């Protein structure tokens, strides 16, 4: 239904609210409610309802003796109705909205779609789910068993089975969650404070979802790590907190709508969203100041691998491909996977779960790998890479997911780091501000560090879901580890982008000295 505007403002059509609406906007309003319809109605019925409401609330159709506030409310209603029709009238967006709406309303831990887990191929854990989502409860009769594993959900992008990493904003950054059967590598920050925190979140999420845990460490005993896991926040508290924040953001934007005097055409555009959130929340929230209760820890099945206990300390240097520590770890993981039936070897009627493997500080000197962190041209450089390769093969053929932290700042040879990155699926690197000069930089004062996403896998597809911004910063609050878009304000100082002649001369001098011995004195390189 075209809006013939009698005032003749053709150029204003360029302001298309629809194209600037973000995902969050589309999903926060209940469009069916606005149109006074329900999801099962056909397109024709929805169109009729839209036309009726549009005629009722169109600003040109209002009688002149309507008071101003009432008029404004009706105009707002008209805008809402129009937006609702935009979404529900287009088949594709309607389908997307329906999917996500249903995902929100259902309880978190069960998956409502039919899965088929492909065990035979090494191509990965492939779940054919997404395309068969229907609005009815009709389920196709097929030979595969209906498998729903608590704590997992299928990806809306490629149908892979996803688990949460324990940090909801990290889930969003890596494409919705961690796919089962893949390896997540965290490059540690310099003092290993935040990467340990991420590992603990990962394991805590496993405990809460009822997954089995496998903790491998060479420094701290896995029992100690298990006791230091953060306590999960009760659902009501976390829900209301997050919703309060969203509501506050929504209210403030509504307030400023009336306050724009000159730039009023931009009123309805959403403010820049710094927080990353997806519509359907997948993971849980944890309180870092409290540790998980002991009975919760004990309820979880936990396998541990503590290197000093497994290997005698005075073992001779290794001559095979992998060092002894890694071989033992690999065998231990393989044993657990086979024994507990994560690779499908066990009987089918056992309730399925996911094995979460967490390995702390792999590649450091404590694992017995004396080359990578100590020398620039290590002889046994392939030890760690062989281990990762074999580990990934193990993961692909079982229902398990692994998070590994590596102290990449200690690894001297960057080529090795490149190989390690290629051998893992998702790679995320943490750079904390503590101890660097950035700590006092006022631009970074709200955050504890930067997060760099180095690699995202394409699993059984040609494309992967890349986060739309590469500047991400994190901060560890008591109840949440948030990752946000680093939104730097414009630099309005006088000296910006204007290199003085003095600076140029200085930098040229340094360059000159570095290049050769003949450059002396203040040479001003002029091009």
Partner 1 sequence: MLVEIIQGTEGGGLVVIKDSAECDGRSLLKGFVKAAVLRNEPVHVLGFEVSEDELRTGLDSGTASRLVFHDGYSDPLQWLGQGKLSVQDYSAQNMRNRISQSEDPKVVTLVIDSLSWLLLHTPPTAVCQSLQELSRGGLKVKRVVALLHSDLHEQGVVGSVCHMATALVTVTPVSGSVSAEAEPNGTVRTLLRRKTGRVSREEECYSVREDFSVQILRDLSTRKQPTPDSRGETKQDDPAANLTFNLRLSEGERLAKENLSLPFTFSEEKKSSLLQPRSGGGRILYEPDASDDFDQEDPDDDLDI
**Number of neighbours of residue 9 by Cβ within 10 angstroms:** 9
How many chain residues touch partner 1 (CB under 8 A)?
62
Which residue's structure tokens are 């690894």?
Answer: 411
Of 4 and 349, nearer to partner 1 (C-beta) is 4
The C-alpha atoms of residue 429 and residue 451 are separated, in whole angstroms, by 6
Q: Does 166 bind partner 1 (CB under 8 A)?
A: no
Considering the complex, state which of residue 295 and residue 491 has its C-beta at the smaller distance from partner 1: 491
- The helix/strand/coil state of 405 is strand
Query: Which residues ranging from 400 to 459 are in contact with partner 1 (CB under 8 A)?
Result: 407, 409-410, 412, 434-435, 440, 442
Q: In whole angstroms, what is the distance from residue 153 CA to residue 337 CA?
A: 21
Reading phi first (left if > 0) and then psi (alpha if -120 to 50, else beta), residue 183 is in beta
Residues 330, 310: Cα–Cα separation, whole Å: 12
Closest to partner 1 by CB, 146 or 260: 260
Q: Measured from the CB of residue 314, what is the shortest distance to partner 1 in angstroms?
A: 6
Residues numbered 203-242 forming contacts with partner 1, rule: CB under 8 A: 218-219
Residues 6 or more apart in contact with residue 194 via CB below 8 angstroms: 430, 432, 448, 449, 474, 476
Structural tokens at position 241:
């907190």
Binding-site member from 7, 462, 463, 515 for partner 1 (CB under 8 A): 7
Residue 410's Cβ-count burial label (10 Å; 0-12, 13-18, 19+) is middle
CB under 8 Å to 28, separation ≥6 — which residues? 246, 250
Using CB under 8 A as the binding rule, whether residue 78 contacts partner 1 is answered as yes
CB of 231 to partner 1, least distance (A): 15
Give the interface segment with partner 1, choosing from 13-21, 173-181, 276-284, 381-389 (CB under 8 A).
Answer: 13-21
Asked if 503 touches partner 1 (CB under 8 A), the answer is no
DSSP label at residue 109: T
Interaction between residue 10 and partner 1 (CB under 8 A) = yes
Alpha helix stretches (DSSP H) within 341-402 = 382-396
CB of 220 to partner 1, least distance (A): 9
The per-residue b/e assignment along 90-104, b for 16 or more CB within 10 angstroms, e otherwise, is eeeebebbbbbbebe
Applying the rule CB under 8 A, the residues between 293 and 312 that interact with partner 1 are 308
**Nearest distance, CB of residue 200 and partner 1, angstroms:** 10
Among the listed ranges 186-194, 346-354, 503-511, 514-522, the one in contact with partner 1 (CB under 8 A) is: 186-194
Residue 438 or 523 with smaller CB distance to partner 1: 438
CB of 179 to partner 1, least distance (A): 28
Pick one of 35, 178, 292, 373: the residue that binds partner 1 (CB under 8 A).
Answer: 373
Taking the complex as a whole, how short is the minimal distance between the CB of residue 51 and partner 1, in angstroms?
14
Q: In the numeric block, which tokens belong to residue 162? A: 């996803």
Structure tokens at 149: 């594993």
Work out how close the CB of 90 gets to partner 1 at its nearest, in angstroms, rounded to a whole number.
11
Cβ pair 209, 151 in contact under 8 A: yes
Nearest to 450 by CA among 469, 468, 433: 433
What 3-state DSSP class applies to 358?
Answer: strand
Shortest distance, position 186 Cβ to partner 1, whole Å: 14
Least distance to partner 1, CB of residue 52, Å: 18
**Using the rule CB under 8 A, is 193 a contact of partner 1?**
yes
Of 197, 204, 289, give the one whose Cα is nearest residue 474.
197
Alpha-carbon distance of 173 to 176, in angstroms, equals 7
Nearest approach in angstroms of CB 363 to partner 1 is: 10
User: Which residues form the interface with partner 1 (CB under 8 A)?
Assistant: 2-3, 5, 7-18, 59-60, 68, 71-72, 75, 78-79, 82-83, 86, 191-194, 196-197, 218-219, 261-262, 264-265, 267-268, 308, 313-314, 317, 364-366, 368-370, 373-376, 407, 409-410, 412, 434-435, 440, 442
């Amino acid at each position: 239904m075209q809006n013939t505007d009698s005032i003749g403002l053709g150029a204003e059509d360029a302001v298309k609210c629809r194209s600037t609406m973000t995902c969050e906007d589309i999903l926060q309003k209940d469009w069916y409610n606005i149109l006074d319809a329900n999801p099962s109605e056909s397109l024709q019925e929805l169109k009729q309802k839209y036309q009726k409401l549009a005629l009722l609330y169109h600003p040109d159709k209002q009688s002149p003796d309507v008071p101003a506030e009432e008029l404004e409310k009706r105009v707002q209603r008209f805008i809402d109705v129009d937006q609702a029709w935009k979404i529900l009238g287009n088949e594709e967006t309607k389908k997307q909205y329906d999917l996500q709406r249903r995902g929100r309303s259902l309880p978190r831990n069960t998956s409502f779609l039919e899965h088929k887990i492909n065990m035979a191929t090494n191509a990965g854990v492939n779940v054919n789910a997404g395309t068969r989502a229907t609005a009815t409860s009709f389920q196709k009769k097929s030979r595969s068993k209906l498998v729903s594993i608590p704590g997992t959900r299928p990806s809306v992008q490629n149908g892979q089975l996803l688990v949460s990493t324990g940090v909801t904003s990290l889930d969003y950054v890596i494409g919705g969650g961690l796919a089962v059967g893949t390896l997540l590598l965290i490059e540690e920050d310099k003092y290993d404070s935040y990467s340990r925190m991420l590992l603990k979140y990962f394991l805590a999420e496993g405990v809460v979802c009822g997954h089995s845990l496998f903790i491998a460490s060479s420094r701290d005993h896995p029992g100690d790590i298990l006791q230091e896991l953060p306590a999960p926040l009760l659902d009501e508290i976390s829900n209301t907190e997050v919703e309060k924040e969203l509501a506050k953001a929504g209210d403030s934007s509504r307030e400023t709508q009336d306050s724009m005097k000159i730039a009023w055409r931009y009123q309805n555009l959403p403010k820049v969203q710094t927080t990353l959130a997806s519509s359907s929340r997948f993971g849980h929230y944890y309180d870092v100041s409290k540790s998980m209760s002991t009975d919760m820890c004990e309820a979880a099945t936990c396998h541990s691998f503590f290197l000093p206990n497994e290997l005698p300390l005075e073992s001779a240097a290794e001559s095979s491909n992998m060092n002894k520590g890694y071989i033992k770890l690999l065998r231990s993981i393989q044993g657990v996977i086979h024994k507990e039936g994560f690779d499908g070897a066990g009987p089918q009627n056992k309730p399925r779960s996911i094995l979460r493997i967490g390995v702390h500080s792999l590649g450091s000197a404590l694992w017995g790998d004396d080359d990578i962190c100590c020398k620039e041209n290590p002889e046994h450089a392939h030890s760690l890479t062989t281990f990762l390769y074999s580990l990934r093969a193990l993961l692909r053929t079982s229902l398990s997911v692994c998070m590994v932290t590596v102290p990449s700042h200690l690894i001297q040879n960057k080529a090795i780091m490149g190989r390690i990155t290629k051998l893992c699926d998702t790679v995320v690197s943490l750079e904390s501000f503590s101890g660097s000069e950035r700590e006092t930089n006022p631009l970074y004062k709200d955050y504890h560090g930067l997060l760099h996403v180095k690699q995202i896998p394409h699993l059984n597809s040609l494309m992967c879901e890349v986060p739309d911004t590469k500047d991400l910063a994190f901060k560890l609050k008591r109840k949440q580890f948030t990752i946000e878009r680093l939104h730097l304000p414009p630099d309005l100082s006088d000296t910006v982008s204007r290199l003085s002649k003095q600076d140029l001369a200085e930098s040229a001098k340094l360059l000159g000295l570095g290049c050769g011995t003949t450059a002396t004195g203040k040479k001003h390189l002029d091009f």
